[in-house]
Amino acid sequence: MKARVLVTLKSAVLDPQGKAIEGALRSLGVPGVASVRQGKVFDVELDAADPAKAEATLKEACEKLLANTVIETYRIEFVG
Amino acid sequence: MKSAVLVFPGSNREGDAARALTMITGSKPAMVWHAETALPAGTDLVVLPGGFSYGDYLRCGAIAGRAAIMDAVREHAARGGLVLGICNGFQILCESGLLPGVLVRNARLRFICREALLKVERNDTPFTRRYAKGAVVRFPVAHGEGNYTADVETLKRLEGEGRVVFRYVSPGGQRDDTQVLNGAANSIGGIVSEKLNVLGLMPHPENHVDPVVGPTDGRALFESIAGALERA
């Protein structure tokens, strides 16, 4: 089973990297970009075939390592 | 006193920490590899040195914070043993849950390598007893991710419990949260645990211990530790 984990900064946390990218896009003349927030994507292959079990595994992975829940939130998506 | 300096893949200030400890406390620390599961018997102080453990992959300190040796460090801290995390060591302590909050990218995105001024907010900790309360000290900083961040509740608790030990100040000794070099919340440079036995700080006191190099404001931190352990 394949899954994608998205880790993003909580909205209250300042994202200086996102801001820098936003500024670069503006200076490139890319129109209509209101704001940019940078995050991380993890593509994970799992042994489990059972979605509930896979989700539990990924949740554990996020809580233990992939995300720092002080500043980040995570979302799990199954990609087939 | 017996100290142990942890070494992770990518640590690079372990030599500086060991040199300062040997010079000031008179005894050479044990160097302990991250994959060990126990600290040397009778360890009084654990130092997590600066560097770029695991290349700062994922988040700085994130992978080292979950290394095998960290369970032993947690037990050591729970017993009241002293733990000192410098720079990447501070990041590791936050990631491991030994200290609250997290260190994120500097507000202006630049790696900062220079001397910083810090105010010693309290001198009743095992790490600061040889400083005068309110003293302004000079320590070098060298970090890209020293911007201390925590949620409002945590910051309130830290301030309420007086757990901010080092705070960045201006040359006049004043705190100015809008001008702090790395954007750290409340100008926080270093904090202690609830029981005052775990200190994490971004600046490098171990690099200001030898008059050959310049200022020696860092000496008192190691003298404080040695003194606190002697008394214990």
pLDDT digits (tens, 9 = 90+) for B154-171: 999 999 999 999 999 999
Q: Using alpha carbons, select from B62, B52, B57 the residue that is nearest to residue B8.
A: B52
In DSSP terms, B198 is beta-bridged to B83
Residue whose tokens read 């995300």: A67
Residue B93's pLDDT band, with cuts at 50, 70 and 90, is: very high
Residue A32, Cβ density class (10 Å: 0-12 exposed, 13-18 middle, ≥19 buried): exposed
Span A56-77, average pLDDT: 96
Q: Which domain holds residue A8?
A: 2-78
What is the predicted pLDDT for the residue at A12? 87
What is the predicted pLDDT for the residue at A16? 85
User: Rounded to 5, what percent of chain B is helix, strand, coil?
Assistant: 30, 25, 45
CA distances from B227 to A1, B13, B110, B125 (A): 57, 24, 37, 11
Chain A hits for B146, CB-CB cut-off 8 Å, are: none
What is the predicted pLDDT for the residue at B130? 98
- Known catalytic residue: B230? no
Using the predicted structure, report yes or no on whether residue B172 has a pLDDT greater than 90: no
For residue A42, the domain's CATH number is: 3.30.1280.10
Sign, CA torsion B80/B84/B90/B93: negative
CB distance B19 to B56 below 8 Å: no
Q: Which of B66, B107, B109 sits opposite A65 (nearest CB)?
A: B66
pLDDT digits (tens, 9 = 90+) for A9-60: 999 888 888 999 999 999 999 999 999 999 999 999 999 889 999 999 999 9
Which of the following is catalytic: B34, B76, B143, B204?
A: B204
Residue B232's pLDDT band, with cuts at 50, 70 and 90, is: low
Using the predicted structure, report yes or no on whether residue B104 has a pLDDT greater than 90: yes
Q: Which of A17, A65, A70 sits opposite B150 (nearest CB)?
A: A70
- Mutation target for A interface from B54, B56, B58, B191: give the one with most A CBs within 10 A: B58
Using the predicted structure, report yes or no on whether residue B85 has a pLDDT greater than 70: yes
Question: Domains in chain B, please, with CATH?
Answer: 3-231 (3.40.50.880)
pLDDT digits (tens, 9 = 90+) for B125-136: 999 999 999 999
Tokens of B167: 């705070």
Specify the number of domains making up chain A. 1
What is the predicted pLDDT for the residue at A80? 67
Q: So what's the ipTM on this one? A: 0.86
Span B61-72, average pLDDT: 97
Using the predicted structure, report yes or no on whether residue B78 has a pLDDT greater than 90: yes
Tell me how close the Cα of B136 comes to any Cα of chain A, in angstroms: 29
**Where would I find the beta strands (DSSP E) of chain B?**
3-7, 30-33, 45-48, 82-86, 102-104, 112-120, 136-143, 147-149, 164-168, 188-192, 198-201
A64 in contact with B at a CB cutoff of 8 Å? yes
Q: Which of B62, B107, B109 sits opposite A65 (nearest CB)?
A: B62
pTM over 0.80? The answer is yes
